[in-house]
Amino acid sequence: MLPQWLLWARELQAVAQAGLTFAENPYDRERYEKMRALAAKMMAEGSGADASMIEGLFAGQVGYVTPKVDVRAAIFREGRVLLVGEMSDGGRWTMPGGWADVNETPSESVIREVAEEAGYVVTVGKLAAVYDRDKCGHPQPHPFHIYKMFFLCDIVGECEKSDLETGKPRFFPLDALPELSEPRVLAWQIQRLYEHFLTPSLPTDFN
């Protein structure tokens, strides 16, 4: 169960963002800005994060509020899974992926992420799962509501990777996974995606 403060803070932020998107009266806009600041303070109080950092994060959001989309590539080879070390999380490991970009389809986004983070060219075979992050048991509740899309991918070539976010990619045995970046991926998700790899006829998981 998500903490109530997180749900309230998200809802306040969403109302404030929608209000700032559509309100024209300057007094109404001032009220919505105060509401956004209150949401940031609530989020900071509950999470222990810096309120000004959270308010800056909220201020960068515009338009009607919808869940963010995180895409991940599940790539398996001989009972092993491809993982990349996440530099922003102490080198802990995750499936290649990240935010979907504007003007890209979800599959185009995951292909780009694998190229940037792992240095591989891939094709996408299947959308295996669409999960609500809040329902999966990830630690560190996120300020925003997130849908996670997991794709089964096949390596068809290599390319130059970026060294900005991830370290060298590695294949790990499924029964000997390294320390995972659990805000991004969980062990049970990897195991479930391997079931999809072994049985491609399984329907897409969703919640």
Domain coordinates in residue numbering, the chain: 4-59, 68-206
Residue 63 has a pLDDT of 83
Residue 151 has a pLDDT of 98
Average pLDDT in the chain: 94
pLDDT above 80 (res 42): yes
Residue 61 has a pLDDT of 86
Cβ-contact 111, 71 below 8 angstroms? no
Average pLDDT over residues 23-48: 93
pLDDT above 80 (res 164): no
Query: pLDDT class for 199, splitting at 50, 70, 90?
Result: very high
d(CA 12, CA 18): 10
pLDDT above 90 (res 192): yes
Cβ-contact 118, 166 below 8 angstroms? yes
Write out pLDDT tens, residues 113-157.
999 999 999 999 999 999 999 999 999 888 899 999 999 999 999
**Phi/psi class of residue 140: alpha, beta or left (left: φ > 0; alpha: ψ in -120 to 50)?**
left
3-state secondary structure of 94: strand
CA-CA distances (angstroms) from residue 32 to 44, 122, 160, 199?
A: 18, 44, 45, 50
Residue 45 has a pLDDT of 93
pTM: 0.81
Instruction: Tell the CATH superfamily of the 68-206 domain.
Output: Nucleoside Triphosphate Pyrophosphohydrolase (3.90.79.10)
Q: Which two tokens stand for residue 139?
A: 């630690």
Nearest to 207 by CA among 192, 187, 194, 191: 192
Average pLDDT over residues 59-80: 92
Query: Within the chain, how many helices (H) and strands (E) appear?
Result: 5, 9
